[in-house]
Amino acid sequence: MMIYTITLNPAIDRVIHIDGELTRGRNNTVSNTAFDIGGKGTHISVVLSALGQPNIAAGMVGENRKDELIALLREKQVESAFYVVPGQTVRENFVITDDSQKGSYMITHAGPVLKKEDLEGFAKNFIKRCNPGDIVAVAGNPPKTTRPEEYEWVLRKIKETGVQLVVDASGPYLKAAIQAEPDLVKPNQFEFAELMQLEINSIEDCIAAYQKSELSKIPYFIVSFGKDGSLLFYNNLVYKVTPPDVHTVNDTGCGDAFVGGLVYGMSCKHDVRKMLKFATAISASKAMQATSSGFDMKEAGEIEQSVKFEYIEKTGRNCNAI
């Protein structure tokens, strides 16, 4: 069994720290520059490698600056096998932090224009690696110039090989992904609301929206609610998973840590209770760290003991803690 993560629009994040508060109209001096890997699939790989689970980060990279990205992944013990897009450059994003404690600025580039033949080349090449029982986690949207139908085609090609397909996408790409019937999908509450074209402000709203949908064909459908945890729709039942209160330093990347934990649980064939509790603990530990993909294994182990996993009646009322 092998785990692959797929990032169709990876990035190199340039993390710049400014002393004091970033201010217009004056010189802002950089006191520190660091580089990090950007792209949701690659973050899942970082989580899996930190858990000691062999995996390969795949997807598409522009030929220019690809070696920098591959080196950053290698620093985090992630092996990669990207399809190289000729003539294109890996995008660089800017993350600007300062001492104001008001959060960071994120400035992103759109990324390369992937031609239809590039996507086809990638898909045809990638599926040669896939064997039934492997897990493929496709995370983060492709560049905006990629049509949702093209993305759906790629997912279908991968699914046809008999792998377990996990998808984390948003907007039109989430909608397209559902058509390809992945095994696990994890929108957050806002992404799910957009998919359903409904307001979702509570667990009851979320369950009602799910019941109106045709999402029961997706074995694991999980909606995440930030610090409030997540709802799992599985086997016609609904479960609510709640992390304990933790001191949140940076919740960026919690979704990726969560999906990484879910993929880990799937690969170990854990039952849903263990899988969700573990993923919830990993992502809560991530929230306590400043970096976008770091977490502490020992801390996660302790947090896991206090994650609540309860069966919920379809009306949304708590029924039974298990």
Buried b (16+ CB within 10 A) or exposed e, 279-292: bbbbbbbbbbbeeb
- CA-closest candidate to residue 97, choices 292, 284, 283: 292
Residues 91-130, interacting with Mg ion (CB under 5 A): none
Q: Does 112 bind ligand ATP (CB under 6 A)?
A: no
- Cβ atoms of 276 and 184 closer than 8 Å: no
3 state DSSP class of 95: strand
Q: Does 248 bind ligand ATP (CB under 6 A)?
A: yes
Work out how close the CB of 236 gets to Mg ion at its nearest, in angstroms, rounded to a whole number: 25
* x/- map, 9-48, Mg ion, by CB under 5 A: ----------------------------------------
Compute how many residues bind ligand ATP; rule: CB under 6 A. 21
Residues 180-239, interacting with ligand ATP (CB under 6 A): 188, 224-227, 229-230
Identify what 296 binds: Mg ion, ligand ATP, none; CB under 5 to 8 Å per kind.
none
Q: Where are the alpha helices (DSSP H) in the chain?
A: 40-50, 66-75, 116-127, 148-159, 171-179, 189-196, 203-212, 254-267, 272-287, 297-305
Strand partners, 318: 312
CA distance 123 to 139: 15
Residues 159-218, interacting with Mg ion (CB under 5 A): 188
Taking the least distance from each CB to Mg ion, the nearer of 55 and 188 is: 188
Instruction: Spell out the long-range contacts of 202-206 with Cβ–Cβ below 8 A and sequence spacing 24 or more.
Output: 202/316, 203/231, 203/240, 203/312, 203/316, 204/315, 204/316, 206/231
Stretch that binds ligand ATP, among 30-38, 106-114, 115-123, 280-288 (CB under 6 A): 280-288
Strand ranges (DSSP E) for 9-55?
11-18, 30-38
Q: Does 142 bind ligand ATP (CB under 6 A)?
A: no
Rg (CA), the chain: 19
Work out how close the CB of 261 gets to ligand ATP at its nearest, in angstroms, rounded to a whole number: 9
Work out how close the CB of 93 gets to Mg ion at its nearest, in angstroms, rounded to a whole number: 16
Q: Tell me which H or E stretch contains 223.
A: strand 220-224
Residues 223-262, interacting with Mg ion (CB under 5 A): 226, 255
Work out how close the CB of 261 gets to Mg ion at its nearest, in angstroms, rounded to a whole number: 13
- Cβ atoms of 56 and 74 closer than 8 Å: no
Identify what 230 binds: ligand ATP, Mg ion, none; CB under 5 to 8 Å per kind.
ligand ATP
Identify what 265 binds: ligand ATP, Mg ion, none; CB under 5 to 8 Å per kind.
none
Q: Does 274 bind ligand ATP (CB under 6 A)?
A: no
Taking the least distance from each CB to ligand ATP, the nearer of 165 and 262 is: 262
Q: Does 287 bind ligand ATP (CB under 6 A)?
A: yes
Using Cβ positions, the residue closest to ligand ATP within the complex turns out to be 255
Work out how close the CB of 169 gets to Mg ion at its nearest, in angstroms, rounded to a whole number: 9
Work out how close the CB of 254 gets to ligand ATP at its nearest, in angstroms, rounded to a whole number: 3
Taking the least distance from each CB to Mg ion, the nearer of 12 and 223 is: 223
What are the residues whose beta carbons fall under 8 Å from the beta carbon of 22, sequence distance 6 or more? 28, 96, 98, 100, 105
- CA-closest candidate to residue 43, choices 138, 131, 116, 130: 138
What are the residues whose beta carbons fall under 8 Å from the beta carbon of 205, sequence distance 6 or more? 198, 199
- CA-closest candidate to residue 174, choices 233, 219, 223, 110: 223
User: What does the binding site for ligand ATP look like in residue numbers (CB under 6 A)?
Assistant: 188, 224-227, 229-230, 243, 246, 248, 251-256, 258, 280, 283-284, 287
User: What does the binding site for Mg ion look like in residue numbers (CB under 5 A)?
Assistant: 188, 226, 255
